[in-house]
Amino acid sequence: MKAKQTSPKKADSTAEQVFLKLRNYCVYQERSQLEVRLKCKELGIKKELTETLLVKLLDENFLNEERFALHYAGGKFRIKKWGKVKIKQGLMQKGVSAYCIKKALGAIPNSEYQATLKKLLVQKSKLLHESNPLKKKAQLQKFALSKGFEGYLVNELLGEEEDF
């Protein structure tokens, strides 16, 4: 019996099919390189082919780490109302470079950032039924920190405002 050999055309067509699948994966929403690597692993693609496909996706601009970081940070801030600490942690988990993280966090306007924090604190304050003002401020602080806002900023805002 002869061993079956894979023809080069078949291997090329398979690589092209995988590329199209990954391209569509990246077109659907912005992806980090780590997410694409995990997708390749899920599809059972070998490391050599994965690297080749990543380079091709980068060259054709279907994959862009800076663009991903900007979209991720903007979405988590505007939709989920996350603070910069939590956004930074999320980007680090996605394998984004420190440069892109810094650029993405810098794209969030400070005035909008502080206004969002204040709005969240006012909303949360209305939901709390604590009569002791110190305990109430501690609960608000814990809430804001869990949303990923910086401690100094939370303390500064809670110290200034008497609305809470």
SS3 per residue for 47-100: HHHHHHHHHHHHHCCCCCHHHHHHHHHHHHHHCCCCCHHHHHHHHHHCCCCHHH
Per-residue pLDDT band for 28 (boundaries 50, 70, 90) equals: very high
Q: Is the pLDDT of residue 4 over 70?
A: no
The pLDDT score that the predictor gives to residue 14 is 85
Euclidean distance between the first and final Cα of the chain, in Å?
A: 82
Give dist(CA 152, CA 141) in Å, integer. 10
The pLDDT score that the predictor gives to residue 75 is 96
The pLDDT score that the predictor gives to residue 159 is 87
The two three-digit tokens of residue 36, written as one number: 């694409």
- Interior/surface letters 148-164, b for 16+ CB within 10 angstroms, e for the rest: bbeeebbeebbeeeeeb
Q: Is the pLDDT of residue 9 over 50?
A: no
Please compute, for residue 77, the number of CA atoms within 13 A of its CA located in the half-sphere on the CB side: 26
3-state DSSP assignment of residue 2: coil
Q: Is the pLDDT of residue 61 over 70?
A: yes
The pLDDT score that the predictor gives to residue 153 is 95
Give dist(CA 94, CA 112) in Å, integer. 25
Nearest to 63 by CA among 24, 103, 33: 33
Structure-model confidence comparison of residues 73 and 7, the more confident one: 73
Query: pTM for the whole thing?
Result: 0.86
Q: Is the pLDDT of residue 68 over 60?
A: yes
Over residues 20-39, mean pLDDT? 95
User: Identity (one letter) of the amino acid at 42?
Assistant: E
Q: Is the pLDDT of residue 46 over 90?
A: yes
Per-residue pLDDT band for 130 (boundaries 50, 70, 90) equals: confident
The two three-digit tokens of residue 130, written as one number: 């604590």
Lowest mean pLDDT among 1-15, 73-87, 121-135, 137-151: 1-15
The pLDDT score that the predictor gives to residue 163 is 63
Phi–psi pair at 129, nearest 5 degrees: -115, 40
Over residues 6-28, mean pLDDT? 77
